[in-house]
A and B are shown apart, each in its own frame.
Chain A
Amino acid sequence: MSPTANRRPRGPKAVPLGDAAAYIELGRRVDTALNTRALRLAAALSARRGVREAVGAYAAVTVHFDPDVISLAGLERLAGELLRDKKGEPLRGRLHRVPVVYDGPDLAAAAEALEISADALVQLHSGPIYRAFMTGFVPGWTYLGPLPPPLQLPRRDRPRTSVPAGSVAMAGQQTGVYPLPTPGGWHLIGRTSLRMFLPESDPPLLIRPGDRVKFFPV
């Protein structure tokens, strides 16, 4: 093996999730550049033979594959090669403007816990353009962030058994919109009339990973 080959950075490991899926971790931080690598790797893997679906997350990719076509070791090699390839399409997300009525049941309590006024909370929340890092949990749910540090609160101690669809919520570094009535532990600060889950569309959701989101008060 040549010295050059030795210096070549090793790719990430593909760790099995059973016998037909694998987890490839690229990092452990909420970071836009890292997330872009994960989403690009997922897109590149999805186009490969033997890969049924590759799902990009904050800093990892979960690959569902046909082990009769590609092995775990083959997948790991392929991911390493794809990550070394710096060319390729930049991620061009769409920008969504999301109208929000900031009257959520947790608005006052969250503002109090953060030691700011409700108005300041609304201003801070509707200020940034958020990144859509990943989807999951339930159909149409997209994790947005990062939240400005003055807005970061742990989840509620007692999750609600049902949160109405359209609720705008935040927890930790993240914010998002509940697409369906589901249980939820995030702080509900407002609501939007914009539908996140689009069952008649393919893909059936409004905000996709890599997109950007700006909330504005109405």
Chain B
Amino acid sequence: MSGPALRVVSAGLLTTVQDLGRTRHRSAGVPPGGAMDRFSAAAANLLVGNEEGAAVLEATVTGPELVAEKPLLVAVTGGDFLPRVNGAEAPLWTSFELGSGDHLQLRERRGGARCYVAVAGGLRADRWLGSAATYLLVGRGGLEGRSLRPGDLLETAAERGGAGPGATLPPELRPEYRGELAAVPGPQVNRLLPESRRRLFQQMFHVLHSSDRMGYRLGAEPPLELRSADLLSFGLAPGCIQVPPSGEPILLQADHQTAGGYPVVATVARAWLPAAAQLLPGNEVRFRRATVEASLAEWRRLRRSLESLLSA
């Protein structure tokens, strides 16, 4: 328990400590935050015997290089960042051991945008409003409220449990990372002109470069057209698709602004937020119209996948 578990050799583009986020603080303007791809974060934890909400690392686009300062059981999930241990390929979605001095490298992304590293015992982290999630805007949670830097030392929160290496989540139980996201029509969908309403669930959008943990800006050609954008601000949720007067939608993510006054024309359902989290600027995305019932059915399927790791 005492003493460092991991040393950061190189930090990657944006690597932060995350968990499953904070709840009950939206009324103060604090977003849920936490892992963008909650399925992968939860699965990584379960694979190493942690509670699913233990603190993990979330790496973005280019992952870190980490050195084990003591023997550790780890799992890497989410986007395929081609994990290597001392240069040799290591498995995804499967727990494995790191010996003291081993280098874990996540620097060669082959797919997705974010990958997750769980360590048995969970990472020790600053908690703010009940969560270890790093919230960069206010510099709270995780490791001093910031992203990792070379030289940082990470400790585990507890001793590792009885879990061993080789626990795995079979491919058919993993989420599909595709650019097609199921979305439920939203309260202001009728603010779109009829022709734009049809296009919302047909046309390709592309993820623009000004996209981050708060939200993705989506390019649309032609842009969507609103009858009127005039609206009183109200509370939002991750997955909400807002349409500002420019007609280029904004897909809200984990660190989203908690309230806004742009029409919400649809909301990506929870089961597809992991796939949304794996989109990169430049990727194409399409929205498929879905009912609440169908969305819940898919959500329950993902929950059963996670629960299969508990009984393993």
Contact = CB atoms under 8 A, between A and B. Distances in A.
To the question of whether A and B form a pair in one complex, the answer is yes
Interface of A: 15-21, 23, 25, 28-30, 42, 52-53, 55-62, 64, 67, 72, 134-141, 143, 179-180, 182, 197, 199, 202-205, 208-209
Nearest to A63: B235
Interface stretch (B39-47, B54-62, B156-164, B263-271): B263-271
Contact of A18 (B232, B257, B268): B268
User: From DSSP, what is the main secondary structure of chain A's interface residues?
Assistant: loop
B26 A137 contact: no
Nearest to A181: B137
Interface stretch (B4-12, B27-35, B110-118, B216-224): B27-35
12 contacts: A20-B270, A21-B237, A23-B234, A42-B27, A52-B24, A55-B258, A62-B234, A62-B237, A135-B27, A136-B235, A138-B257, A204-B28
B28 A59 contact: no
A143 B232 CA distance: 11
A137 B299 contact: no
Given A57-B234, A137-B259, A204-B129, A19 B27 contact: no
Given A60-B232, A202-B129, A17 B237 contact: yes
A203 B25 contact: yes
B270 A143 contact: no
B277 to A, nearest CB: 15
A184 to B, nearest CB: 12
Interface in B119-158: 128-129, 137-138, 140
Contacts of A143: 233
Nearest to B30: A139
B88 interface: no
Contacts of A138: 29, 137, 257
B134 to A, nearest CB: 14
A134 B237 contact: no
Contacts of A18: 183-184, 237, 239-240, 267-270, 295
A60 to B, nearest CB: 4
Given A18-B183, A30-B232, A134-B259, 12 more contacts: A18-B237, A19-B269, A23-B187, A23-B234, A57-B232, A57-B259, A58-B233, A67-B292, A135-B27, A138-B257, A208-B27, A208-B28
Contact of A64 (B237, B292, B296): B237
